[in-house]
Amino acid sequence: TQLLEQSPQFLSIQEGENLTVYCNSSSVFSSLQWYRQEPGEGPVLLVTVVTGGEVKKLKRLTFQFGDARKDSSLHITAAQPGDTGLYLCAGGDYGQNFVFGPGTRLSVLP
């Protein structure tokens, strides 16, 4: 069974600070997705990474896929209150379903 762990579980920071959250597994994934979810809503896809070592940027968000395709990180620069939410990583494997981590709950205080 493929499992994903995320750290930290909770993170509360002030507006303007930088942060990094992590997604780790002992399994190799063909792709990894990051989602943000707000209360009462479904997860919204932020990015997909598929190549080991790949780095993608989405405005103030930087996503990196580990060389061995077992882990990933999400770095947010100058966090804003609008970044508040549950950040989920999900691993995909050829022909299989998506496996989700438990999420990192981020709170950005104004």
Partner 1 sequence: DTGVSQDPRHKITKRGQNVTFRCDPISEHNRLYWYRQTLGQGPEFLTYFQNEAQLEKSRLLSDRFSAERPKGSFSTLEIQRTEQGDSAMYLCASSWGTTNTEAFFGQGTRLTVV
Residues of the shown chain interacting with partner 1 in the complex, contacts defined by CB under 8 A: 6, 30-31, 33, 35, 40-45, 48, 50, 88, 90, 92-103, 105
Q: Among residues 34 and 79, whose Cβ is nearest to partner 1? A: 34
Q: Among residues 77 and 97, whose Cβ is nearest to partner 1? A: 97
Q: What are the backbone dihedrals phi and psi of residue 97, each rounded to the nearest 5 degrees, phi first?
A: -85, 175
Q: Among residues 42 and 110, whose Cβ is nearest to partner 1? A: 42
Instruction: Compute CA 97 distance to the chain's CA centroid, rounded to the nearest angstrom.
Output: 18
Report the nearest approach of partner 1 to the CB of residue 9 (Å): 9
Report the nearest approach of partner 1 to the CB of residue 74 (Å): 15
Q: How far apart are CA 43 and CA 34, in angstroms?
A: 9
Report the nearest approach of partner 1 to the CB of residue 16 (Å): 27
Q: What are the backbone dihedrals phi and psi of residue 71, each rounded to the nearest 5 degrees, phi first?
A: -150, 165
Report the nearest approach of partner 1 to the CB of residue 71 (Å): 16
Q: How far apart are CA 76 and CA 94, in angstroms?
A: 29
Q: How far apart are CA 64 and CA 104, in angstroms?
A: 16
